[in-house]
Copies of this chain bind each other. A is one copy, B any other.
Amino acid sequence: MTTIRDVARHARVAPMTVSRVLNNPDSVSDATRVRVETAIDELSYIPNMIGQALRNKLTGAIGLVVSDITNPFAIQQITGVSSAARDRGFSVVFAQTEASPDEELRQLRSMIERRVDGIILSPVFNTPDSVDFVTSAKGTVVVLGYPMPDNDVDVVRCDSRAAASEATEHLLALGHRRISMLSGPPEIVTARERSEGYKNAMRRAGLVPDVRYGAFTVASGFEMATKILASESRPTALVTASNFIALGAAQAAQRAGVSIPADLSITTFDNSRTDVVLDPFFTGVIQPVTNMATAATTLLIDRIEHRLVGPGREIVMPTTFEVHGSTAPPPEFL
């Protein structure tokens, strides 16, 4: 592999001059610049960022640690981060943790060993451990998607609580009174927040909330919905805490001969695949995941380049609520 010294010899200049041609061309006379550029071409020299990184203590890479790539919004996170990083001239080192906190720490350590300039973390849980680990190693980190109450750290997230309230209020406005919530694991903060948003809306309407906790999976949604549809006073509407749960619930309804939205309304969270032919297509909360990811990346790189200094910033991005075919007034009203 040709080095800067090979180029220098070939152009009969000092290595430093070649470096200058590459990084600060104006400081070199036209004649030598052309000579060096010719040598670079003739030798097909490609700069070695390892050497640069060692000397400059900057790698020009950011780490992206995603908890669960099978989740459809992970792909939006990857899209947003990688395009924003490219726009700023950074590479992306990618890792998935398969929802394991241990693996998350291992991957974070690997990123630090690689001396990435900063890390975007879409964490498994919102415990402070992972963030603490990175900051204790003098690393820069931005948390994507989750609130981090115990850390002074940059966060980009949505207001899950308000969004769940909005979904619930949509159903209340349609005339529903028996509304249940199918939520995720209570140890995951977004599941808790969404449940709380639902509960708040129900209580404001003078109704008794009914939250079921499960997992963010189709199977869990199917199971929870099957159980709830078999109960005597079954709800006329379901607020679900994720698209997977909503899909599972829809399958359960179909299986039970309950038609959507005539007999049962369902709202979803992160109905991200707008190109899918779903009949009915889900009404629900949409998080601007790609925008969140680009915002997190911009924030991180601003930190890296010292454009942004000071205490951790929390960016809460607005969700939108899209009404499609999966919600309608309850059967009594028809």
* CA distance in complex: A5, B315 (Å): 41
Q: Which residues of B contact A46 (CB under 8 A)?
A: 109, 112-113, 137
* CA distance in complex: A325, B78 (Å): 33
Which of A7-15, A276-284, A304-312 lies at the interface?
A276-284
- Report which of B93, B250, B277 forms a contact with A251, defined as CB distance below 8 A: B277
- Report which of B1, B47, B59, B273 forms a contact with A138, defined as CB distance below 8 A: B1
Looking at the assembled complex, report how far the CB atom of A156 sits from the nearest CB atom of chain B, in whole angstroms: 20
- Report which of B50, B75, B250 forms a contact with A115, defined as CB distance below 8 A: B50
For window 85-111 of A, CB contacts with B under 8 Å fall at 86, 91-96, 98, 107, 109-110
Given contacts A1-B138, A50-B59, contact A91 B114 (CB under 8 A): yes
* CA distance in complex: A136, B43 (Å): 12
Contact B79 A113, beta carbon cutoff 8 Å: no
Contact B96 A82, beta carbon cutoff 8 Å: yes
* CA distance in complex: A171, B273 (Å): 29
Having A86-B95, A273-B273, one finds 12 other A-B pairs with CB under 8 Å, namely A44-B137, A46-B109, A47-B113, A61-B93, A70-B79, A74-B75, A75-B75, A82-B96, A83-B96, A83-B98, A247-B276, A273-B276
Chain A residues with CB under 8 Å of chain B are: 1, 44, 46-51, 53-54, 59, 61, 64, 69-70, 74-75, 78-79, 82-83, 86, 91-96, 98, 107, 109-110, 112-115, 136-138, 218, 244, 247, 250-251, 254, 273, 275-279
